[in-house]
Structure formats: structure tokens, C-alpha cells
Structure 1
Amino acid sequence: MHAVLSSRRYDDLAVNDSNVNKTSAWIKDTLWAFAMIQRRGSPSNIMDIVLEYAPDLQEAIDLEVHWTSVVRESTDQTDLAILKSVQILRSGVATLWKLAMEDGAFFQIRSTCATQPRTYEVLFPHCARREWINDLFLSEVASTNRGLKNSLSASSPHSADIGFMHVENSRESRGGYSVYVPENYNPATCYPLVVSLHGGSGHGRGQAWVWLREARSQGVVVVCPTSLDSTWNFGDPEADILNILHHVEATCKNWNIDTSRLMLHGISDGGTFVLASGLLEGSKFTHLVPCSPSFHPFLIEVSSPSRLKEIRVYLIHGALDWMFPVEGSREAYLILNRAGVDIVYREFEDLSHAYPDEENESILQWFLE
């Protein structure tokens, strides 16, 4: 199934170009502002951070009014998707300003700012219809590569075997997985695989967007499992491990995957589970990327000298982390390095308990070298 494209390849002329530019810039800026609040916010400073980064509510309302009028006179599904994304973000901005006036709203503010997955899920199916939407899901360098953009847009993300697929992974379910396969997938090409684990109370369906921009830009398949319970089972990890491996095996069966190069990546509880499962003797993963994990030295004891010598680790933590203090990862780096692990440690001075998306390109370079 192939998308029908205009002679410009993207039909941006469906709406006024100035409104397109304003909308695309506002969506990018709003998502960035929410990300910065998550990145820098902690229980002690959250109100100051919100006041510094919260987007202007009136601008959000004005854009919603504009796109409501556009949709009223149009049957275009992409215009409707743009309106829905603006509504999601406008609601988030309004809630953010309301919470900024309340004490003890830290976790509600973090939840409000976690709108990226819902916004992206609405917009992504329309990449072939608007160039600015396509650019949301590409790296800065890739967004200037016309050949790459045309190849990605030549196939519809609604096709059964490319783009985003959710396997028994509705938001209400546990134990399923989401998988992204580049829209320009070529069966003759062997693709690297990134398996990314969500944090506590998270879900694979939302986690998948963490890697999408780089995966589309560099041709990487991404699998995001959902834990069997509300988070990964550290006390008895076997069931979660087997479930993850089942999803990996299904992916390798359905697409051409380089099984000699498998990355296990995770954030928060997901990062902890990367270490708890990936260091075990017999793990199939060649590269481990834990971000903001909790670390205990006993994890070394359940591994083996041979496993520690063969594995590569890229450890990430924020100096401002309020949930899992950075000292744990500093200790992990020293212990793993002393044990002979090939390890990179990256500490971010402005990062709290959040994920530094900009590090993905460096991680992929390390993974693919």
C-alpha cells in the first residue's frame, strides 16, 4: 500500500503556509517546553521551572480556534489530526498553569508534561501528507536529506509490516509490545535492533517514541515491551525476561535483524532492569544502555567474568536526579570498570530524573561502530 502524494510530494498547500509555519513551530516549542520541565524539575524547584518554561496559554487557545475553523470547512484527515494534537497540547498548557498555582503538584505536573506520546501518535500517520510533520520524526541532518525523506514517505505507515505496530499492546494491557520498522524497510538489508524498556508505571506504547527520530533517520528497528506488571519484576525477573525475548524472537522472525548487534536500553526502572537482566550469563544482548538506574553491587555477583568481559555498557545519569541519586551510577561505573566491563559513563549536569533525547545519536554511533 502506497500513499498518494502531490507533485510537491507533500500537500502543504492545503492550508496557508504562514499558519503551517506557526503551527509547526508552536508544536515543537511546546513539546520542548514540556520536556525541559521534566528534565530540570524536581520536588524542590518545580514551580520555578514551570514559570520559566510554561508556554503561553493564549497562543494555544488561538491556534485551537484557528484549526477548529479549518476542520469545520474541510474533510481532510490530516487537518483533523493537527487539530487533535493542538487540543492535546492546549489542554496540557492549561492544566500546567492551573497546577502552577497549587502546592504539592510535582507528580501531576510531570504527568501533564508527558504528552509527547499522545501527540506523536496522532501526527505520525500523516508524515506523507505534511513535510513539517515528517520533519518532527527526523534528526536535524536527516530532515535535509531529500532522498531519505522521499523514501520514507513513499510507503504508508498504515501498511501492515512497516511503521508503528502494536502487538497486544493497548494502553490498558500488560505484557505486549510495540515495534517500529522504518517505512523504507528493505528485506535485503540487515537491521540493528534496539529494545527499549519503560520506567515504573510506564508502557511500551509510549516508550517507542523515545527512539523514533533516530530510528527513522538511521534505519534501526525498535522494540518496546510492556512489563507484565506495573513495573519490571526485580525479585523474580525470569517471566519478564522470557517475555522480552519472546518479542525479540518474533521481531527477528518477521524482519531481517542483525542478531550479532542487539541493544537493551531502559529508563529509570527500565534502566535498572537492563542491568539486572543484561548482565546475566546467557543474555543475548551485546550492548546495554541504562539511564537513571538504581544500582546494587550484587548485580556483579550474579554475572560471570566471561559475561562482564564481552558486554558493552553506556551508562547515563543526571546530576539533579531526585529519585535515584547520581551517586549510584558513579559507583556502578567504578565497579563495572574495575570488573573489566567496556563502559562509557555520561553524566548530565542539568538532568533530573528524565531522559536526554539528544544523547540518542551518540548512543547509536557507539552501538553501530
Structure 2
Amino acid sequence: MPYRLYVPENYNPNTSYPLVLFLHGGGERGNDNEKQLMANDGAVIWAAPENQAKHPSFILAPQSRNVPDGGFTITRDVNNIVNLSRVFEVSEDLKMAYEVLQHVRGEYNIDPNRLYSTGVSQGGFGTFNMNMEHPDTFAAMVPIAGGADPAKAHLIKHVPIWAFHAKDDSVIPVSYSRNIIDAIKSNGGEPIYTEYKSKMNYDHASWIPAYENEKMIEWVFQQVKSSN
């Protein structure tokens, strides 16, 4: 699996650093190892000088396969047409992304209590699913324009979550985020949820304002998983 890794400037192997895992959307599938960086700010915003100055951190951005069942969840049928019937499945690419994460953790001094995950669209579903598969790995998650199986909400009720979606999303209906957020709350969780109004005209691209939200970025780095 191709991936890009940002290593903090003046990396000191004797110091442990946080890591942000970014999972891209369906349009960035492939093997060029570029589209996951160029399509939006989901990966690069964390490496911006102003953010690195305050929060030196690694950023990991793997790239999934460009095949019908490729992606960090499965949103297409055999004809490569959008079909949301399998979005709650854990895809093979998501499993591989987790293996890439473990490889990087083995290569560098990364703080196990400051691992963060975020993703958009397919990667938004993937962010939920990876946390459900590995509920004790991440200190916080920021899924955007995604969703998850409400029946599994209890698995991540303890994870700090800030989710985003646009009300007028024409690709992934906003109900996917609403349903999982409501289910997490029903299980005792306290997720943060931001929904952009239709008049703001973000449609599927709710990641644009989400990643411009400086409060969200600061919130992410404030989260530290208990080592207990």
C-alpha cells in the first residue's frame, strides 16, 4: 500500500511524538501516492508550519486501491457505481492501512497515547470502522461525511469524537452521521457533532470547513489516551 509520511522537523528519536492518520475519500484511490495529499487538506493541514510549531507530530496518509471494492470502506459495486449497501464492512484496504500504521509505529518513537485518526467520505466510514475494530488504539477521531453501524456504537462510546457532515450532502446522506452519533449518545458517549446547514452549500465537501476549524485541531491534540 502506498503511503506518505510526514516526519516532524528536527525529529528526536529520544522524544515520543503524536501521529495523525488520515484516510482519504473514494476519489483519491490509486497508486500514484499523490492524490491523497492533493485533493484536500485532510493530510497536509496537520503538517502546516503553524500547527507543527505548536504540535510537532507525524502525519500518515496511506492510499487505497482504485478497484470497485477498494477504499477505506466499500461504496461501489462491481460496475464501479456508487452503492452504499456495504459501507459498514471493514474493507481489506482498511486492514492494510492499520498494518501500515503499525509498521510506522515500529520505525519511529510515536506516543501510543497520542494516536489520532481522521478521514473523509470513504475515509470517514473507515475512521469509524478502524476505531470499532481497534477501540483502544486512538486517543481521538474526526470522521467527516461518513458514518458507521449504529449497532456497534458501544465499542467507541469512550473515544473522544468530533464528527462533521453537511445537511445537503448528496453523496453520503447526513443520516449516516446522525444515526451513529445518536447511537453513541444512547450508549453513554459524549461525541461532538457539527452539521453544516444547507444554505452553506458545502454538499459533500464538509471537510473544507472542518479542516479549517482551528478549534477542532486544538481539540484533537488536547486528547490523550489513558495508559491504564
Q: What is the root-mean-square deviation in Å for CA atoms of aligned residues?
A: 2.4
1:202 equivalent in structure 2 = 28
Aligned mates of 2:178, 2:91 — CA distance in 1: 27
* Alpha-carbon distance, 1:281 to partner: 5.2
Q: Tell me, which stretches of 5 or more residues in structure 2 are unaligned? A: 75-85, 223-228
Structure 1 residues 223-245: Cα deviation after superposition (integer angstroms, max 9, x where no partner): 11112443234455263343112
TM-score of the two chains, using structure 2 as the length reference: 0.72
**Contact 2:73/2:122 (CA < 8 Å) preserved in 1?**
no
**Contact 2:145/2:166 (CA < 8 Å) preserved in 1?**
yes
SS of residue in 2 equivalent to 1:246: helix
Corresponding position: 1:317 with 2:149: no
Aligned mates of 2:147, 2:59 — CA distance in 1: 24
Corresponding position: 1:333 with 2:181: yes
**Contact 1:208/1:222 (CA < 8 Å) preserved in 2?**
no
Higher helix share: 1
Q: What does 1:70-219 correspond to in 2, within 5 Å?
A: 175-203=1-29, 205-208=34-37, 210=41, 211-216=43-48, 217-218=51-52, 219=56
Corresponding position: 1:231 with 2:55: no
1:170 equivalent in structure 2 = none
2:79 equivalent in structure 1 = none
TM-score of the two chains, using structure 1 as the length reference: 0.46
Greater relative CO, 1 or 2 (CA 8 Å, sep 6+): 2
1:267 equivalent in structure 2 = 120
Q: How much identity, in percent, do the aligned residues show? A: 28
2:226 equivalent in structure 1 = none
**Contact 1:194/1:262 (CA < 8 Å) preserved in 2?**
yes
* Alpha-carbon distance, 1:179 to partner: 0.9
Aligned mates of 1:264, 1:325 — CA distance in 2: 22
Q: What does 1:279-358 correspond to in 2, within 5 Å?
A: 279-280=132-133, 282=135, 284-300=137-153, 305=154, 307-349=155-197, 350=200, 351-354=202-205, 355-356=207-208, 357-358=211-212
* Alpha-carbon distance, 1:246 to partner: 1.9
Aligned mates of 2:106, 2:14 — CA distance in 1: 14
Aligned pairs, number: 189
1:258 equivalent in structure 2 = 111
**1:294/1:282 CA distance change after superposition, 3 Å:** closer
Aligned mates of 1:358, 1:326 — CA distance in 2: 20
Aligned mates of 1:311, 1:358 — CA distance in 2: 22
Counterpart AA for 1:185: Y
**Contact 1:262/1:284 (CA < 8 Å) preserved in 2?**
yes
* Alpha-carbon distance, 1:367 to partner: 1.6
Higher strand share: 2
Counterpart AA for 1:232: F
Aligned mates of 2:128, 2:144 — CA distance in 1: 10
SS of residue in 2 equivalent to 1:342: coil
